[in-house]
Amino acid sequence: MSEPVRVGVVGMGTVGSGVVRLLVESADHIERHAGRPIVVAKAVVKDVAKARSVDVPGGHLSADYHDVSRDPSISVAALLVGGLEPARTIMIDLLEHGKDVVTANKALLAEHGPELFELARRKGRSIAFEAAVAGGIPIVAAIGECLAANRIESIRGILNGTSNFILTRMEEDGADYADVLKLAQEKGFAEADPSMDVDGTDATQKLAILAHLAFGVWVPWGEIPRMGIEGIDLGLLRYAAELGYRIRLVAVASRSDGRLAMRVAPALVKQGTPLAETRGAYNAVSIVGDAVGRMFFHGLGAGQMPTASAVVADIIDTVVGRTAITFKTTGVLSADSPAARIAGVDMLERHFLRIRVKDRPGVLARITGILGEHGISIASVIQHDASQAGDATVPLVIMTHPCGSNAIRKAVDHIDAADVVSGRSVCLSVLDE
Amino acid sequence: MSEPVRVGVVGMGTVGSGVVRLLVESADHIERHAGRPIVVAKAVVKDVAKARSVDVPGGHLSADYHDVSRDPSISVAALLVGGLEPARTIMIDLLEHGKDVVTANKALLAEHGPELFELARRKGRSIAFEAAVAGGIPIVAAIGECLAANRIESIRGILNGTSNFILTRMEEDGADYADVLKLAQEKGFAEADPSMDVDGTDATQKLAILAHLAFGVWVPWGEIPRMGIEGIDLGLLRYAAELGYRIRLVAVASRSDGRLAMRVAPALVKQGTPLAETRGAYNAVSIVGDAVGRMFFHGLGAGQMPTASAVVADIIDTVVGRTAITFKTTGVLSADSPAARIAGVDMLERHFLRIRVKDRPGVLARITGILGEHGISIASVIQHDASQAGDATVPLVIMTHPCGSNAIRKAVDHIDAADVVSGRSVCLSVLDE
C-alpha cells in the first residue's frame, strides 16, 4: 500500500467540518479513488477549546496555520477560510512553503487570483478551486477539461443559492422580500449579513472565474455590470408570471460580434426552461459550445456536504497529479491572460420594462414614442386598471422585441426623466430559451 | 514550442469525420488546452477513393489500420469504428503496438471491456471513453473524477437519443411509433437498422459502463433486465399524460438494501421533472451522491460534433497525461472488479398497469383482488367507457402504491392468466421525482 497523503485543513467552519467528515467517514472509498490513503494531519481552527460537530482524528487541532504550512510532512492544504484576509496571507504562506492548495474561496480568487496563481506557478505548486463556483456542480472541470475542444459561445448561470432561494419563495409563497430573507437566515440559507449574496457580488465573482476558464480572458469582477435582487418586488414577479416567465438572478457571459459581454442581473426566464425550473438553493449552469451545443448542469450550489464533495474531489485530483497537469497546461490565470474590455459591449435581447406612470391621457403614446425614437419596438403591453381609485400612478409593463442593451438603457433614462413618469423604471432582460 | 502529438483516426464515419474537422478547425484552441499541437497523422478509411465532407490534412488516408498501429511516430489513436468486429481486433492491435486509445464504441467496451482494459494495463497504455456514454455530456469524468468523494446512491439516465426522439414525437405529434421511426431515419436520428436503439440494447450497454464507474462492479450488460420502446403505443402515452406523466426510456442503477438493482425500461416520469422535460435527441443523467445530493446533466447525447467534442477532450486528456493517471489510480475495469449479481434484486416503486379486460361485471374486483393477494395496494384506477359499442375488451389502467418489482411481476403474470384478461398487460415503473 502506498504511503498516506497528509492533508492540512485550514478553517473548520461549515465547509471545513464537512471536508474533515468526508475524509474520515468515506476514507476507504476515497483511498480507492486516490490510490492511497488521505489523512487529516492537522485542522486549523480559531479556538481549539470549542466543542465541534466533527472530531478531527487524533485531535490534531491548532490555532496557528503555520502548523500546516511549516509541517514538511503535509503536502496538500485545503484553505477553507472565507473573505480576503487573512485568507490571502495564509494562501501565500502555504504556497511559499510548498503546499498544493485547494480552496472554496471565490472572493479571494476573483480579487487576488492572478497574483496567487502566479506565485503558485513560480513555486511549482497548484491551486484547485472546483468548490469556489457552483458548489457541488463540477463546472470548473467541465469547462476547463471536458469541453476543452469547444470554443465556448455563452455561459448562463444561477450561481447564488441564497438569492435563488429568496426569489423562489417569493414567487411560490407570495411572500415579501424581507420576510423571505428572514426565513432564509433562520434556515441557514442566508448569512447574517447577506449583502454579498443579494446584491450580486457573489455571483459576479463566480462569473469572473467561469468566464476566465471559458474565454481565457481576465475580467476584474468589479468591472462586470451587476444588479442585485433587492429591487425585485412581488408586483414584478406577478407580471412576469402573467407573461409566462419567472425571475432569476442570472449571470451571463457571451460572445457578441467577437467581443465578450458579461453581466449579473435579475432576468425574466421563460417558464419550463431549465434555468426557470431551478428552484430553492439549487444552482444551474447552461453552456453553449461550438461543437457540443447546449449543455446544462444542475445541482446544489452551496451547503456543507455538496461543497465538501467538490473540495475532496480537488484533494484527490491534487494527490493523484491531475491538478498539476491541468494547472500547467491550461495556464489558468497566468500573467499573460489577456484582459478583456467588456464596458459598453451590446447584448441583443428582449427586455421587460415596468414604468410607474401617472394615470392620465396620452401617457402610453408618450412612452412608446420615446422607445420608438431609440429604435426599440414593442412586443406587448400590460396596463391593468388602477387597483384603487385615486392611485396617483399605475404600473405600465412593456415587453420589447430584441434590442441592444445600450439603446434600452438610454431609452429608460429618457423615460424616467419624463414628467408623466414617477420614480425609477425597472428594466430586465428576457431569456426565452 | 513543444513537439506536435501525432494522432491516428481509425474510422471516418460520422464521428471520425467530426473529430478530424474539430482537430483541424479548432487547432489553435486545442493546442492551448493540450500545451502542444495535436495533428492528424493518418486517417483510416474503408475506401481511400471516396469523396469526403472533411479533408484530412496532407491527404494522409489509408485503408489499412496497421498504418496507424505500426507507425511509431503516432502515440494516440482514436478508434471510431462501431460494432464488435473488426473494432476489437483493431483495438488489440493498437494497444499491442503501444498506442493510447480513445474510443466512442460502447458496444465494444460493454462486451469486451475487461479483456481490453487488462491488455491496456499490461502494456502500460490507457483507454479513454467519455464519448461512449451520453455523447457530449461529460458523465464519465463526472462520475469517475468529479464525484469521486461520493458514494453514489443512484443513477437514472436517458441514454439513447433515438428512442427519446421517437417517444417525444409520438407524445407531441400524436403520431404512431412506425411513422415517427421512419421520420427519425429520414432525419438521421435513427439508423437504417434501429433495433439496438429501440430495444434498449444501446442504453443497457451504456448503463453497464456507468454503473461500473459509479459502483465499482462489473455487470455483463446481457444480465441487466431490459425492455425496449417497441410496445409503447399512443394509448399508453395518453393515459400517462392524463395522470400527469410522460414516458421515457430510463436506465436505472441504484443501491437498494446494500444490493445493486439495475434495469432499462420505459417508465412514467412526472411532468416537470428534469427527465420528463428531456426531449428529442437529448440525453440526460441524474445522479445522487451521499455528499453532493442530486446532480443533473443534460446535453446532446449523439450526433457528429457533440460526440467529436467528447472524443477530442479525451485526446487532449490523453496527450497531457490526465487519462493515464485516472486509468491507473481508479483501476477502471481491472481484473479484480467484483462482479455483481443483480438478478432478482427488488426495487420498491410505484407501478402503472394497463390491462385489457373483457367488458363484463366483476372484472375490476377480480383484478384488484389479485393485486391484493400479492400485497399490492392501488393508488388510482382509470376505466373509460368502451370507445365503440361491441368492443370486446377495454383498457383498465391502474396506478399502484410503492411495491416490490418481484411482487408486481408475479401479480401481472397472475392477472394475464385470468380468463377476464385478453393479451399481455403493460407494467411500467413510475418515477415521481
Residue with the larger pLDDT of the pair A54 and A173: A173
Same domain, B175 and B263: yes
Grade residue A390 by pLDDT with cuts at 50, 70 and 90: low
Please give the helix or strand (H or E) that residue B42 lies within, else none. Answer: strand B38-44
Half-sphere exposure of B366 (CA within 13 A, CB side): 17
Same domain, A366 and A392: yes
Cβ-based burial of B70 (10 A; exposed 0-12, middle 13-18, buried ≥19): exposed
Same domain, A20 and A130: yes
Asked if B26 and A148 come within 8 Å (Cβ–Cβ), the reply is no
CATH of the domain at B360: 3.30.70.260
Q: What is the mean pLDDT of chain A?
A: 92
Across the range B108-120, mean pLDDT stands at: 94
Residue with the larger pLDDT of the pair A409 and B335: A409
Same domain, B408 and B270: no
B12 found inside a domain? yes
Same domain, A282 and A269: yes
Asked if B291 and A309 come within 8 Å (Cβ–Cβ), the reply is yes
A338 found inside a domain? no
Half-sphere exposure of A408 (CA within 13 A, CB side): 25
CA distances from B351 to A413, B49, B198, B237, B267 (A): 58, 55, 22, 15, 9
CB proximity B306 to A under 8 Å: yes
Grade residue B340 by pLDDT with cuts at 50, 70 and 90: confident
Per residue in B328-351, is it b (16+ CB within 10 Å) or e — as a string?
A: bbbbbbeeebeebebeebebebbb
| Residues near B78 by beta carbon (within 8 Å), at least 6 away in sequence | B7, B8, B9, B10, B11, B16, B19, B101, B102, B103, B311, B315
The pLDDT, as a whole number, for residue A7 is 97
Same domain, A14 and A35: yes
pLDDT at A341 over 80: no
The pLDDT, as a whole number, for residue B339 is 73
pLDDT at B49 over 90: no
Domain that residue A358 falls in: 348-431
The pLDDT, as a whole number, for residue A384 is 81
B-proximal residues of A, 346-365, CB under 8 Å: none
Strand positions, DSSP E, A209-258: 245-256
pLDDT digits (tens, 9 = 90+) for A273-287: 999 999 998 999 999
A340 found inside a domain? no
Give the rounded distance of the alpha carbon of B368 from its chain centre. 36
The pLDDT, as a whole number, for residue B211 is 94
Same domain, B365 and B405: yes
Same domain, A167 and A276: yes
Cell 450526433 sits on residue: B303
Same domain, B313 and B371: no
CATH of the domain at B19: 3.40.50.720
Asked if B293 and A299 come within 8 Å (Cβ–Cβ), the reply is yes
ipTM: 0.93
CB proximity B399 to A under 8 Å: no
CATH of the domain at B266: 3.30.360.10
Q: Which residues of A touch B102 (CB under 8 A)?
A: none
CB proximity B148 to A under 8 Å: yes
- Judge contact between B145 and B358, C-beta under 8 A: no
- Domains held by chain B: number: 3
Cell 480507492 sits on residue: A32
A339 found inside a domain? no
Cell 412586443 sits on residue: A379
CB proximity A182 to B under 8 Å: no
The pLDDT, as a whole number, for residue B70 is 97
The pLDDT, as a whole number, for residue B303 is 87
B339 found inside a domain? no
pLDDT at B426 over 80: yes
Same domain, B222 and B261: yes
Same domain, A35 and A102: yes
Closest Cα in chain B to A144:
B33
pLDDT at B286 over 80: yes
A-proximal residues of B, 18-57, CB under 8 Å: 18, 22, 26, 29-30, 32-35
Same domain, B74 and B192: no
Closest Cα in chain A to B287:
A299
pLDDT at B387 over 70: no
pTM metric for this prediction = 0.94
SS3 state at B426: strand
Asked if B330 and A149 come within 8 Å (Cβ–Cβ), the reply is no
| Residues near B205 by beta carbon (within 8 Å), at least 6 away in sequence | B106, B107, B109, B110, B111, B221
pLDDT at A189 over 80: no
B140 found inside a domain? no
pLDDT at A1 over 60: no
Give the active site residues of B: 206
From A217's Cα to the closest Cα of chain B, the distance in A is 13
Across the range A261-273, mean pLDDT stands at: 95
B338 found inside a domain? no
From A177's Cα to the closest Cα of chain B, the distance in A is 26
A336 found inside a domain? no
